[in-house]
Amino acid sequence: MLIACADSLILSWSIFKTGHHTLRREDLRIIERMMSSKNKQYHFVLVHGLGHGAWCWYKVRTLLESVGHQVTALDLAASGVNLKTLDEVHTMLDYSQPLLEFMETIPMNERVIIVGNSLGGFSLAYAMDKFPEKISVAVFVAAFMPDTSHGPSYVMDKLSELAPKENFMDTKFAIQEGAGKPKTTMHFGPEFIASKLYPKSSPEDISLAKMLIRVGSMFRDDLSTAANFSDKGYGSVNRAYIVCKDDKAMSEDFQQWMIQNNPVKEVKEIPGADHIPMISKPQEVCHVLLEIANNCN
């Protein structure tokens, strides 16, 4: 069975390696480390960032399942193939509802590993605050990571100071009126996608992202008036952070600042990783996730 899993994983990597049909030596070393990890199966719950959907985890999901782990990748509200439209989603809590509904279904005697990228860090925080006993560790992958001392928008406000609107290049912004507070919407432009979000990815993956990314919102006005996350809930859950060292959208310095602002149990770094490492560095993401899972369980 072990050989079968290894063969399946090697096949997956052969498919995912863009521009080549053979594995690199470093790929083989990663496979060996993953196959020699503790013989324990985990349930990973994968959460995407703004404008994305469960689709952006397709490489990581396949690799983790190839070595026997259970994986759930979710579409948040008005994302991926979720049927809601953005004008039906008024708050970050509304946006995170699919994750919270899924967490409701987890039995009380089970714990999952939740993993969030980018804006997905806020969705993780809501899940941690409400279901701390169901989460063994929350992994923030180049993701917003709030604290319990400030309002939820604190880290987002800090990034806005460092990355003005001009940094979003051809991204389209609009004000959307609705039943709740007006919210700013964002639709990432093709130049921003290629040069800031996916600079380390293949042309094929960049084309896929351009076709699938939907209009989204950071719900900043909502977060600016939302209550702090609690020490009893959010603050009680093990946290780990994966730093993407070549991130052009959320700089390494800003990621390190969030870690200093709210220290975590474990920090991992992926050299050469951009803002969407599950597409550009799926093998490395899987290896690091399994290291964190083994260390925190």
Q: Rg for the chain (alpha carbons), in Å?
A: 18
Q: Tell me the torsion sign for CA atoms 159, 162, 165, 169.
A: negative
**Alpha-carbon distance 219 to 115, whole Å?**
20
Which residues are catalytically annotated? 118, 247, 275
CB under 8 Å to 286, separation ≥6 — which residues? 30, 34, 60, 63, 64
The strand order across the sheet containing 266-270 reads 70-74, 43-47, 112-118, 135-143, 239-244, 266-270
Q: What six digits make up the tokens of 216?
A: 């989204």
User: Which residue, chain included where needed, has tokens 């809501």?
Assistant: 126
CB under 8 Å to 80, separation ≥6 — which residues? 48, 52, 53, 54, 55, 212, 214
Q: Is 237 exposed, middle or buried (0-12, 13-18, 19+ CB in 10 A)?
A: buried
Q: What six digits make up the tokens of 47?
A: 């959460």
